[in-house]
Structure 1
Amino acid sequence: MGLFDKLKKLVSDDSADAGAIEIIAPLSGEIVNIEDVPDVVFAEKIVGDGIAIKPAGNKMVAPVNGTIGKIFETNHAFSIESDDGVELFVHFGIDTVELKGEGFTRIAEEGQTVKAGDTVIEFDLALLEEKAKSTLTPVVIS
């Protein structure tokens, strides 16, 4: 069962309300199948199932109420654990680690308690579209 199927079941199954958590998109853009990400680690769901987003905005936000786990030193990715114990991983683009932080600005800090929608990282989309292998952003439940 894929992430969309799980989310659909949570939305459509009244009995699932007790265990449901609300997850919002961590960035604006178009939802794409995780299998379309040009990186085998994400496309083959090695780090977890999820979706990808083709970004259209300039910030990554907390997808859930919770606590920021790890923010990569290069500010291109972060993990968050929801208040309900669900861990998500948001990774902007492919091979963006090679940019060594260029185009990214950290707003939140590791260990910070956040609400869904709070800004975690801001980014320069035009620069990243020019320099990154891909801007498709995997969002996985890990």
Structure 2
Amino acid sequence: MLAKIFKHKKRIEKEKIFSPLTGELLPLEQVPDPVFSQKMMGDGVAIIPEEGVLVSPVEGKVVQVFHTKHAIGITSVSGLEILLHVGLETVELNGEGFTALIEEGQTVKVGDPLLNFDISLLKDKNKEIITPIIITNYSDKVDEIEHVDQQAVSRGENLFVCNFK
């Protein structure tokens, strides 16, 4: 990763990822969906949200807002590709219970609201609310993830640090 600072090139060695939700932090291996738990899409963590507000975990650009509004893709300023996937099998709701607050192509900062979602509705529809936060280009960009040592997180708190290759 290179960034221009004062016309000199400086290697970016790591990037902090901040919590997009308030809730209980879980290892990805505990997500009851093999696509996430077996890290088929990349590495990261999951959060069981306490409230239905999803914010940006990084400074970057929104590259995808799924038409069903249950998932958002962001590319950070250092090139990490991050997937925020609210709930499991929530694509089946066709956007019901989700309100996107941003659009594709929009630039975001840490803490900018991305999406509101109705936790009660998701539970009423028998959907898991566990929300994976995945670095989808992990194998290309990241050497290791330094996880925080805590079980509960609040929006905007440090979630993990990606050390680049």
Superposition TM-score, scaled by structure 2 size = 0.73
**Selected match of 1:96 from 74, 90, 99:** 90
**4+ long deviations beyond 3 Å:** none
Is 2:87 the partner of 1:59? no
Other-structure match for 1:119:
113
Other-structure match for 1:34:
28
Other-structure match for 2:77:
83
**1:45–1:138 distance in 2 versus 1, CA, 3 Å:** same
Higher helix share: 1
Distance (Å, rounded) in 2 between the aligned partners of 1:101 and 1:18: 37
Q: CA deviation at 1:28?
A: 1.1
Q: Secondary structure at the match of 1:129?
A: helix
RMSD: 1.3
Moved more, 75-84 or 126-135: 126-135
**Identical-residue share of aligned pairs (%):** 47
Other-structure match for 2:40:
46
Is 2:15 the partner of 1:21? yes
Asked if the contact 1:96–1:132 (Cα under 8 Å) also holds between the matched residues in 2, the reply is: no
Is 2:57 the partner of 1:69? no
Asked if the contact 2:59–2:110 (Cα under 8 Å) also holds between the matched residues in 1, the reply is: yes
Gaps of 5+ in 1: 1-16
* Count, aligned residues: 126
Gaps of 5+ in 2: 1-10, 137-165
Moved more, 61-70 or 127-136: 127-136
Higher strand share: 2
Structure number with bigger Rg: 2
